[in-house]
Structure 1
Amino acid sequence: MIRLIFFAALLLHQSFSLRMHEKFSWKYLDYNWPSLEHRTFALSRGLYQPENNIILGVERWKNMLFVTVPRWRLGVPSSLNFIELPNWEKSPRLNPYPSWEESSILPYPTEATIVSTYRVQVDKCDRLWVIDNGVDNLLDQPKSIVPPAIVIFDLNRHQLIRRFVLPQNQLKNDTFLPNIVIDSSKYNCEDTHAYVTDAGSFGIIVYSFKKNKSWRIQHSFFHIDPTAGGFSIADTYFTWRDGVFGIALGHLRSDFSRDLFFHSLSATKEFVVPNKVLQNESLAMSTDPAHGEFRIVGDRGPGGHSATEVFDKNTDVIFFTQLAKDGIGCWNIQTPLNEYTAVLVDQDPIALIMPVDIKLDDDGYIWVLSNRMAHFIKKQMNFADYNFRIVVAKASELIKGTFCDVIYY
């Protein structure tokens, strides 16, 4: 039986052309400037350097598709942006959010300014949550503009709700905050929690909207696997040492409890912990919090490195990026997790090179962003070619014929 599963999985892995629909693609990024004069001025002063702009995060809300452009190098005019939907352009220009005035870090940022963000999420109460790392020119000569903060916007009014500066004692020398995931219910918007992953210092910062307070959780499962730090992507070889990165929230129960699945970037194992454990502030004072509540789920197998993941309650499936396989994987949480049940649902050596973010919208569509980050970091991007892509597919259609589809198995 195991042999049959193995060979079936192998066939699935080898038979792909791109199944997801390519929604947008860019050779380089540009913006909807207030005027041509503004763009010309920004280019002349180095305030806009197209080669230094890379999309890193994506999120959809109604007729807006948010995309993030971290200020990793100089010349990024706006870090938090959106595209109006529907949009039939192949390479649409980006609109700064919440406005051009509040996207600039010069001469100084406002409360609503996002200096540099990687990934964002919209909650069930139509609020956009942003983790602002607050640093400009990170890859070359880092300059702290503002302290790291959680920034929340009301999307119905397009207004800032709150900017919560993370306490200094919850940040470490190697802190790197790549992801934010929101635990909310439309029936109880006040009692919302945000989970911010610290991949550099192996922790999760938990923020309570109701208490307007945060605390830090440490655990050995947040660390890297020292044997899984090597990556080979698009003939580029490099080593990463990023810990806890991806989070997916399971089914919401009547008491608002749910499982929180998570994994490190430089690892292939998946873990789970009840959300109530992270929401218990007293555990943050423990050197080894709730050890029995943290459990290993399984292992995606060799080359199963993943950045982000998302859970689809309608199919019981967790979708996750597969960095080293140029693809998107899936796992049905009703089955054991191993290298045979964690299967690829799509794979493409061009459209899915370095898939770094994945989101599920309210209509059941999976959105995936790929960006050739390995080439960007080494300044080897070819701007005559398409470098950034956003692809989309219905989640239920994407798993058809795979082990993630309950009808299939």
Structure 2
Amino acid sequence: MEEKYAWKTMDYNWPSDEDRDAAIKRGFYNPESMVILGIDRWRDMLFVTVPRWRSGVVSTLNYISLFNTERSPKLEPYPSWDDNSLETEHTLSTVISAYRLQVDHCDRLWVVDNGLENILEKRTEILRPAIVIFDLTRHQLLRRFDLPYEQIKNNMVDTFFANIVVDCSEENCEDAHAYIADAGSFGLIVYSFKKNKSWRIEHNFFHIDPTAGAFSVDDVLFTWTDGVFGVALGHLNEDFSRDVYFHSLTGWKEFIVSNKVLQNENIANNSDLVYTEFRILGDRGPNSYSTTHVFDDSLDVIFFTQVAKHGIACWNIRTPLNEKTVPLIEQDDVALIMPIDISLDNDGFIWVVSNRMPHFIQRKMNFEDFNFRVMVAKASDLIKGTLCDLNGF
């Protein structure tokens, strides 16, 4: 993979130097509080998220113009400075703390907002957790949906919305569904755009593997208890059905369920009925921890982040899933320390964000070094000569 961007610390394209200096003096901006987490591309815009895990993050939802050729470009708040500010009056398009985001096939940007500030030190709920959807063709808010408190565990103390994946097609924009992974309390929120309604699904497969909780990333040892994290969508069939692949971060197994099961609220509310619809696909092998994954339907290949291996792995869905069929296809002990998010754009390019998160959480980040990177490569090039490239054999 090629490095597209890299930062030691992250900064914004401020209206003026005076505004930046004033924000630092008042404690509203601290470059060392910023860590990049989510990524997705739309046309010439690369969207990136910076969650408010510590105080001093001015804007959580941002973008970079892909015409920018600087190695360390400054972030542009999206859709505006005011919509990301904690100092101005909150609007429906305000985003407090974004973790992951996704651009759908209908030119809409979906963001799950946890609504919390400073979760690593003194967590404060600013706004109710919500799904915020923007129309990218007009750069305007399309809809805000506040998530019901009954679908949130212990008032966001246990719930941690780690990912959002949008299930729709260009031919069926209105009947879109979003799947939001609650890694903290082991559930999946399903949101229907057409009904403007959500429901929660719980399953044993959303939990952690208790034998897989000890992590080692760049010689930093720690334990995590994050459940369902990665969600990827399979081939879209003529009836708009498709397989949904998912896994927990703390674990190495991969699971599958039909989107028709997730989208049926009656089935979802019947725990006995829904349980049998979920299946285990296999085991990726020891230390194959993956934050998330993405499916390239032109290649029949799923790409996984590999946080403990500083790399990217792949699996061709036409083969059984096991340790031998999920090879590590990219590995870099510098550029890919903690690959946290991965996305696939409409041109067939894989985008990856790495952020050295264990160092950041434990306050061991060396801000004289490059800590955050965006890497990119053509998906078809990444699998050439590997077990995932069945056409090459």
Confirm whether residue 293 of structure 1 aligns to residue 274 of structure 2. Answer: no
* 1:279 CA displacement: 0.1
Confirm whether residue 142 of structure 1 aligns to residue 123 of structure 2. Answer: yes
> What pairs up with 1:153-168 in 2 under 5 angstroms?
153-168=134-149
Cα distance in 2 for partners of 1:77, 1:366 equals 28
Q: Which residue of 2 aligns with 1:96?
A: 77
**TM-score normalised per structure 1:** 0.94
Read off the aligned partner of 1:229 and give its amino acid letter.
Answer: G
Contact 1:219 1:289 in 2 (8 A): no
Read off the aligned partner of 1:365 and give its amino acid letter.
Answer: F
Cα distance in 2 for partners of 1:142, 1:363 equals 39
Confirm whether residue 39 of structure 1 aligns to residue 23 of structure 2. Answer: no
Confirm whether residue 302 of structure 1 aligns to residue 283 of structure 2. Answer: no
Q: Deviations over 1:130-160 (max 9, x none)?
A: 0000000010000000010000000000000
Say which of 65, 72, 80 aligns to 2:61.
Answer: 80
Q: Which residue of 1 aligns with 2:34?
A: 53
Contact 1:184 1:191 in 2 (8 A): yes
* 1:284 CA displacement: 2.9
Q: Which residue of 1 aligns with 2:363?
A: 379
Contact 1:366 1:392 in 2 (8 A): yes
> What pairs up with 1:120-269 in 2 under 5 angstroms?
120-173=101-154, 174-269=158-253
Contact 1:217 1:283 in 2 (8 A): no
Contact 1:67 1:80 in 2 (8 A): yes
* 1:108 CA displacement: 3.4
Contact 2:98 2:114 in 1 (8 A): yes
Contact 2:63 2:77 in 1 (8 A): yes
Contact 1:79 1:103 in 2 (8 A): yes
Cα distance in 1 for partners of 2:90, 2:73 equals 26
Contact 2:82 2:88 in 1 (8 A): no
Q: Which residue of 1 aligns with 2:11?
A: 30
**CA distance 1:288–1:243, change in 2 (3 Å):** farther
Q: Which SS does the other structure have where 1:283 is aligned?
A: helix
Read off the aligned partner of 1:98 and give its amino acid letter.
Answer: P
* 1:290 CA displacement: 2.1
Q: Which SS does the other structure have where 1:392 is aligned?
A: strand
Confirm whether residue 408 of structure 1 aligns to residue 387 of structure 2. Answer: no
Read off the aligned partner of 1:156 and give its amino acid letter.
Answer: T
Cα distance in 2 for partners of 1:291, 1:381 equals 43
Q: Which SS does the other structure have where 1:293 is aligned?
A: coil
Q: Deviations over 1:50-98 (max 9, x none)?
A: 0000001110000100000000000000000000112210000000000
Contact 1:218 1:288 in 2 (8 A): no
Percent identity between the aligned chains? 65
Q: Which SS does the other structure have where 2:323 is aligned?
A: coil
Read off the aligned partner of 1:125 and give its amino acid letter.
Answer: C
* 1:395 CA displacement: 0.2
Contact 1:218 1:289 in 2 (8 A): no
* 1:111 CA displacement: 1.0
Cα distance in 1 for partners of 2:223, 2:273 equals 30
Cα distance in 1 for partners of 2:272, 2:127 equals 32
Q: Which residue of 2 aligns with 1:106?
A: 87
Confirm whether residue 65 of structure 1 aligns to residue 46 of structure 2. Answer: yes
Read off the aligned partner of 2:51 and give its amino acid letter.
Answer: P
Q: Deviations over 1:201-258 (max 9, x none)?
A: 1000000000000000011100000001110000100000000000110000000000
* 1:291 CA displacement: 2.4
Q: Which residue of 2 aligns with 1:354?
A: 338
Q: Which SS does the other structure have where 1:391 is aligned?
A: strand
Read off the aligned partner of 1:256 and give its amino acid letter.
Answer: F
Contact 2:101 2:112 in 1 (8 A): yes
Q: Which residue of 1 aligns with 2:97?
A: 116
**CA RMSD of superposed structures (Å):** 0.7
* 1:289 CA displacement: 4.0
Say which of 257, 265, 290 aligns to 1:273.
Answer: 257
Gaps of 5+ in 1: 1-19
Cα distance in 1 for partners of 2:179, 2:110 equals 11
Say which of 265, 284, 293 aligns to 2:268.
Answer: 284
Contact 2:207 2:227 in 1 (8 A): yes
* 1:102 CA displacement: 1.3
Cα distance in 2 for partners of 1:185, 1:324 equals 34
Cα distance in 1 for partners of 2:206, 2:20 equals 43
Cα distance in 1 for partners of 2:192, 2:140 equals 20
Contact 1:365 1:392 in 2 (8 A): yes
* 1:283 CA displacement: 2.2
